[in-house]
Structure 1
């Protein structure tokens, strides 16, 4: 018999919330690694805990650091990237 669905609402008990965060964080990191290997995809995952602790995974940390240090993308930048027209040198060099 499978597990039941969890209702998506904030866990009020701080200890239970932290335990759930830790367990789900490791599962999320595992899934990020799996999709990068199975699909040969560049994956970047950044998660901050409620205490501001950073947890990250990336297939290429230099790529992620470059984009984090760049100015934020606009909606039109994201739209061009999704549509595949953003693969010009100027887009990545700004």
Structure 2
């Protein structure tokens, strides 16, 4: 015998709502993965919880940026400079990582010749 239908409305109890979110999120991610594997579908799924935490799934053969770019092209909202912006963002991240791994002693004065 199957489960009964539930009324689709906001769950008022925060604890129950969080538990439901976690369980349904896991189920949605599992189904997304299954669809991707079974049908060789290119899938990008982004979920934001009510607390602002982000969860994402991207099919094995893709990166989220590629899927978003493909979506934008299909919708006619893609701007060619988006690729350049992504490149600049990646470059900034690389530079920030390099800078954070470099240490500079600010207590020793620099001597110029």
How does the TM-score come out when normalised to structure 2? 0.58
Say how many residue pairs are matched: 79
Q: CA deviation at 1:65?
A: 2.5
How does the TM-score come out when normalised to structure 1? 0.69
**Highest CA radius of gyration, 1 or 2?**
2
Map 1:32-51; keep pairs closer than 5 Å.
Answer: 32-51=32-51
Q: CA deviation at 1:60?
A: 4.5
Structure 1 residues 4, 22: CA separation in 2 closer, same or farther (over 3 Å shift)? same
Give 5+ residue unaligned stretches, structure 1: 81-89
Q: Distance in 1 between matches of 2:61 and 2:48?
A: 17
Structure 1 residues 33, 53: CA separation in 2 closer, same or farther (over 3 Å shift)? same
Deviation string 1:15-60 (CA, Å, 9 cap, x unpaired) is 1100000000000000000000010000111001011101110014
The runs of at least 4 aligned residues of structure 1 exceeding 4 Å deviation read none
Superposition RMSD on alpha carbons, in Å?
A: 2.9
Q: CA deviation at 1:63?
A: 3.0
